[in-house]
Amino acid sequence: MSARVKEELKTEVEKLKQSGKTTGLAVVLVGDDPASKVYVRNKEKACEELGIYSEMHRLPETTTEEELLALVDRLNSDENIDGILVQLPLPEHLDDSVIINNIRPDKDVDAFHPVNVGKIMIGDYDFLPCTPAGIMELIHESGVSVDGKECVVIGRSNIVGKPMSMLLLHENGTVTTCHSHTQNLSGVTSRADILVAAVGIAKFVKADMVKPGAVVIDVGMDRDENGKLCGDVDFDEVEPVAGAITPVPGGVGPMTIAMLMRNTVTASKKHKK
């Protein structure tokens, strides 16, 4: 599915090129977080596939806030750059929100800037956060309508949990957001027709937490007791119960990258009129 989205985008990028307009994405990586390095490499590869001009700015762990803001400022005014993505998490001495707030909203292809978050809240947006947007595409692809369904999101992060709940609500789902203070969690999750797990704990969701036939979306990227990549859902246990389930790896991840590319092309089309 992500390949299909990318194929459509490739055509759009080519059309822009033919009219003399490039599409550009700048990715900023501060420090040596191994997971972040993998994500950045995947984004670089996707840009190459689609013919998108990309700049990778790899900065040392010791980068100061002033230095990072100076780079963001330069990218904000660079006409070759349509999208700016600062890879999170940043090293502890840097404040995520200060950096995000300084990215121009029309170049904020992660959709984390308060202006874009507000637009998503009211349902009048230019960009959607990449992971929730990819999840909605997966739900639509599976032929499931969100309208009137019980939807449960485990996790309330600004990156996935909160915007995910909002997108389900926009499509008339009845949405419950669960978190570490939720009481009787399995009682709540086992009512869900659509269950999204974005909690960051390996194999957290077990079969007794899932309603038979439910759509189960696993956002987690964890390591199990043997150091093997796994998700927030115990796939082997839940798969026989679920009506549809995303694997880890290879489920939500490729869709997240595809949606980032879509946001970049959307930004490019807006900038190039």
Catalytic site residues? 43, 87, 110
Judged on CB neighbours under 10 Å (0-12, 13-18, 19+), 236 is exposed
The separation between CA 84 and the C-alpha centre of its own chain, rounded to angstroms, equals 15
Q: At what angle do helices 130-141 and 161-170 cross, to 10 degrees?
A: 40
DSSP state of 87: P
Helix (H, G, I), strand (E, B) or coil at 214: coil
DSSP string, 116-136: HHHHHHHT--S---HHHHHHH
For residue 57, list its beta bridge partners.
28
51 Cβ neighbours under 8 A, 6+ residues apart: 10, 13, 14, 17, 23
Measured distance CA(109)–CA(264) in Å, rounded: 6
Strand 194-197 versus strand 150-154 pairing type: parallel
Judged on CB neighbours under 10 Å (0-12, 13-18, 19+), 243 is middle
Sheet holding 215-218, edge to edge: 174-178, 150-154, 194-197, 215-218, 244-245
